[in-house]
Amino acid sequence: MLLQCQAVRIIQLVLGLAVVMNLKCWLENHKRLFWVLNTCGWAGFGITSYLSGRYWGEEWGYPCYRFAGAAFGFLISIGLRHFYRRIWGAPVWWRIILVALASYVCAALLAVLTNYVLWEVYETYQPTEFMKYFKGITTLFYIFICWSGLYFGVKFYEGMQQAIQGALRANALAHQAQLKMLRYQLNPHFLFNTLNAISTLILEKNHQVANDMVSRLSDFLRYSLDNDPMQKVTLAQEIHALKLYLGIEKVRFEERLSLEFDIDETAESAMIPSLLLQPLVENAIKYAIARSEHGGKIAIRARVFARELLLEVADDGPGVDDIDAMLSGRHHNGCGVGVRNTRERLRELYGEDHGFQIDNLKPSGLQISIRLPYQTEDNVARQT
């Protein structure tokens, strides 16, 4: 019996939630919202008017008189709504004047109609002067003024909500455009050196290596273009793409380029922005490896600590003399462009919830450290 009662309560709760959700969706339609509010408002006016009449001792509260007034008011307010739509774009002062005049005219019309019902149905009040036709006009004028204030208030609120939603949509589109712009700034300029290297291999009739380089380039470009910069990939996927890129560069530099990967197993499942490390590695190759006669080494490390993903990209090149200029992208040799773009991209995606640091190493070298929230694929799916 207890289980049956609990089952009935659960069913009632589910049905109640379904009704509330359906009502919410139904009321989100602006036209429906007007009809609901207008009907409820005038129905409430008729009920309170009737109860007031009963309280003051009127015979049965004059229900025909009271509810006829609510019905006439409902119909008049529909016409008033169409009038307000026509003057919506008028200057503010004109709108105030027209609202006051329209409210007074509607109040006079409603007073005449309701008083006529009172005379014809109940015959308890017969006007002896013309102005007696307008009995109660002051109260009805205040009612229409309040109706007008509520109508314009709802309209202004809806307009404000639409403006806010439009601004949010524009913000989201700008955010996506910014991320895509930063992402696509990072890829193209290494193509020139790669294509030159392929051309050289073809001239030297080293077709096997040239073909392998073209395949790697194709796979890397397919990865970079297929992955949406708004989406995240696992670090394992990122390292795979990075190895495709480094495989291309390895053909160019041969033994002058030494690579070291130190990736913890736990870190491989971490979600990061796609092609996050590539511009940093490209920066190291361009300014630390390519300018050295003997080349150098690039190390990529990743580990998880205290629910954060720690990434490091280090080289044994000459380092930089002005880290602040590099962070801002103003370094004299141009080596801060990839760094600046990466920082801006992380700022767009994580706000203040990340870390980015550059340090010179001893005796030589440069290390870029990135700290990100540790997120797995399940965490990201729940957030979206």
Q: Report the alpha-carbon distance of residue 300 to residue 247 in Å, rounded.
A: 15
232 pLDDT more than 60: yes
201: Cβ contacts below 8 Å, ≥ 6 apart: 207, 209, 210, 213, 251
pLDDT band at 357 (very low <50, low <70, confident <90, very high): very high
In a domain, 12, yes or no: no
In a domain, 205, yes or no: yes
Domain co-membership, 119 together with 246: no
Domain co-membership, 229 together with 307: yes
Residue with tokens 């001792």: 57
In a domain, 9, yes or no: no
Domain co-membership, 109 together with 246: no
Phi then psi for residue 318, to 5 deg, are -75, -10
Please compute the mean of the pLDDT values over residues 219-235 and round it to a whole number: 77
Q: Are the C-beta atoms of 245 and 278 separated by less than 8 Å?
A: yes
pLDDT band at 121 (very low <50, low <70, confident <90, very high): low
Domain co-membership, 115 together with 194: no
In a domain, 293, yes or no: yes
Domain co-membership, 145 together with 248: no
Domain co-membership, 249 together with 372: yes
Domain co-membership, 341 together with 241: yes
Structural domain harbouring 118:
30-173
Q: Are the C-beta atoms of 50 and 42 separated by less than 8 Å?
A: no
For the record, the structure tokens of 353 come out as 């919830």
Boundary (domain end) residue, out of 118, 149, 173? 173
For residue 367, the model assigns a pLDDT of 93
In a domain, 16, yes or no: no
State the burial class of residue 108 (Cβ atoms within 10 Å of its Cβ: 0-12, 13-18, 19+): middle
Domain co-membership, 163 together with 210: no
Widest pairwise Cα distance in the chain: 117
Is the model's pTM score more than 0.75?
A: no
Residue with tokens 């009920």: 47
Among 49-63, 115-129, 235-249, 312-326, the range with the most confident prediction by mean pLDDT is: 235-249
Pairing between strand 296-305 and 257-263? parallel
What are 314-342's pLDDT values in tens digits?
Answer: 999 888 877 777 776 555 455 566 788 78
Domain co-membership, 216 together with 164: no
Domain co-membership, 85 together with 34: yes
The SS3 of residue 194 is helix
Q: Find the helix or strand (DSSP H, E) in which 93 lies.
A: helix 92-117
Phi then psi for residue 216, to 5 deg, are -65, -40
Q: Report the alpha-carbon distance of residue 369 to residue 174 in Å, rounded.
A: 28
Domain co-membership, 100 together with 223: no
For the record, the structure tokens of 334 come out as 């141009």
Pairing between strand 308-315 and 366-373? antiparallel
Q: Are the C-beta atoms of 187 and 350 separated by less than 8 Å?
A: no
Boundary (domain end) residue, out of 129, 146, 173? 173
In a domain, 278, yes or no: yes
10 pLDDT more than 50: no
Domain co-membership, 275 together with 363: yes
The C-alpha torsion from 275 through 263 and 364 to 291, rounded to 10°, is -40
Residues in the chain: 384
Number of domains in the chain: 2
Average pLDDT across the chain, whole number: 77
